[in-house]
């Protein structure tokens, strides 16, 4: 089976468009169509049903797409491993970082650039759960998330840092001089949370389930600073890790630490399989040195 035609087919299905696949792969649309037809001839079965602009996978097409993604991910890993053996110092590394975690990594980025100036570093920002899936599919070598990671993805994990989670609300929401709040007390309060595709929200929902209550969610956002603004306006209680509490001017906010149980925001690296490139290992070493200090 020709890998190029397989790659064109997978990209067409992923984007659900011959036109967008052609743009993504920098070829003509006729080339994409020709390659997909060639793959269908090699397989001996129709893979796509074309209904106007809509593309639907046949049963055979679903199998070829699923296995094709795995094969292409394996080829990407093979390329990275071969490249890694050819250079012990130079290379390229793309790291997936969630928007919340990235604020803590400026010192790490600075140290990495000083130690490894010949390694090209690219940062890809996305929600933690999305990055986990990208790592599992081989689209990213290494990413960051908030534990626990999705166990079905079978990823390797390495904790980076752990901080308690605090509750933020408009001044006067909590009793005066209170410094802690039991988790179950949140059952009777409206909450403003990050969107469900954020790993922190996944972790919080697990905690709510374990405590036996369904949260009253007033609003959700993909921006933690907007959550703080909503909490300040009295819309609900925002739940954020300790490092972000120290970054805020909380004159109009009450801030209390969650207890019983004390919830932890555990940031971690995730990767797939036992192999890591030289560049990825160098990144992990710098993280350990800087964050441990």
Write the pLDDT tens digit of every residue in 8-22: 999 999 899 999 999
Where is 151: in which H helix or E strand? none
3-state secondary structure of 120: strand
- Does the bond joining 148 to the residue before it have cis omega, within 30 degrees of 0? yes
Domain 90-158+268-292 CATH (choose: 1.10.10.10, 3.40.190.10, 3.90.100.10, 3.60.15.10): 3.40.190.10
Paired tokens of 231? 């909490």
Q: What are the domain boundaries of the chain? A: 3-81, 90-158+268-292, 161-265
Alpha-carbon distance of 215 to 119, in angstroms, equals: 45
Alpha-carbon distance of 116 to 207, in angstroms, equals: 40
Phi, psi torsion values for 132, nearest 5 degrees: -60, -45
Assigned CATH topology for domain 161-265 = D-Maltodextrin-Binding Protein; domain 2 (3.40.190)
Give residue 57's pLDDT.
Answer: 93
Alpha-carbon distance of 20 to 16, in angstroms, equals: 8
| CB-based contacts of 151, cutoff 8 Å, min separation 6 | none
Q: What is the DSSP letter of 142?
A: E
- For residue 145, what are the β-bridge partners? 268
Across the chain, mean pLDDT equals 88
Shortest CA distance to 147 belongs to which of 267, 284, 291, 288?
267
Confidence of residue 197 (pLDDT cuts 50, 70, 90): confident
3-state secondary structure of 150: coil
> CA dist 201 to 58, 145, 206, 217, Å?
36, 11, 9, 11
Alpha-carbon distance of 145 to 130, in angstroms, equals: 9
Confidence of residue 84 (pLDDT cuts 50, 70, 90): low
Phi, psi torsion values for 110, nearest 5 degrees: -65, -45
Phi, psi torsion values for 288, nearest 5 degrees: -65, -45
Residue entry with tokens 């949260």: 215
Q: Is the pLDDT score of 106 beyond 80?
A: yes
Q: Is the pLDDT score of 269 beyond 90?
A: yes
Give the percent of the chain with pLDDT over 70: 95
Give residue 212's pLDDT.
Answer: 94
Alpha-carbon distance of 155 to 43, in angstroms, equals: 32
Shortest CA distance to 105 belongs to which of 148, 144, 158?
144
Give residue 85's pLDDT.
Answer: 55
CATH of domain 3-81: 1.10.10.10
Asked, colleague to colleague, whether 3-81 and 161-265 share their fold, the answer is no
Q: Is the pLDDT score of 178 beyond 60?
A: yes
Q: Is the pLDDT score of 1 beyond 60?
A: yes
**Do 238 and 230 form a contact (C-beta atoms < 8 A)?**
yes
Q: Is the pLDDT score of 88 beyond 70?
A: no
Give residue 35's pLDDT.
Answer: 92
């Amino acid at each position: 089976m020709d890998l190029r035609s397989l790659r064109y087919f997978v990209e067409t299905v992923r984007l659900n468009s011959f036109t967008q696949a052609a743009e993504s792969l920098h070829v003509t649309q006729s080339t994409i169509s020709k390659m997909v037809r060639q793959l269908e001839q090699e397989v001996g079965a129709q893979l796509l049903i074309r209904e106007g602009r809509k593309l639907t996978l046949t049963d055979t097409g679903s199998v070829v797409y699923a296995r094709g993604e795995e094969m292409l991910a394996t080829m990407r890993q093979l390329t990275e491993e071969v490249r890694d053996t050819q250079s012990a110092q130079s290379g390229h590394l793309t790291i997936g970082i969630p928007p919340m975690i990235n604020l803590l990594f400026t010192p790490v980025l600075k140290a990495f650039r000083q130690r490894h100036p010949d390694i090209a570093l690219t940062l890809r920002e996305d929600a933690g759960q999305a990055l986990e899936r990208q790592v599992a599919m081989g689209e990213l070598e290494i990413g960051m998330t908030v534990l626990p990671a999705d166990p079905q993805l079978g990823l390797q994990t390495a904790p980076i840092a752990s901080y308690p989670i605090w509750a933020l609300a408009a001044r006067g929401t909590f009793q005066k001089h209170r410094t802690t709040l039991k988790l179950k007390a949140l059952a009777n309060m409206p909450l403003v949370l990050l969107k469900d595709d954020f790993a922190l929200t996944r972790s919080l929902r697990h905690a709510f389930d374990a405590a036996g209550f369904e949260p009253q969610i007033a609003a959700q956002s993909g921006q933690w600073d907007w959550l703080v603004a909503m909490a300040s306006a009295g819309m609900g209680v925002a739940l954020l890790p300790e490092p972000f509490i120290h970054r805020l001017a909380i004159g109009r906010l009450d801030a209390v630490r969650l207890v019983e149980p004390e919830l932890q925001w555990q940031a971690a690296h995730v990767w797939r399989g036992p192999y890591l490139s030289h560049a990825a290992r160098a990144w992990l070493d710098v993280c350990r040195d800087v964050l441990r200090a």
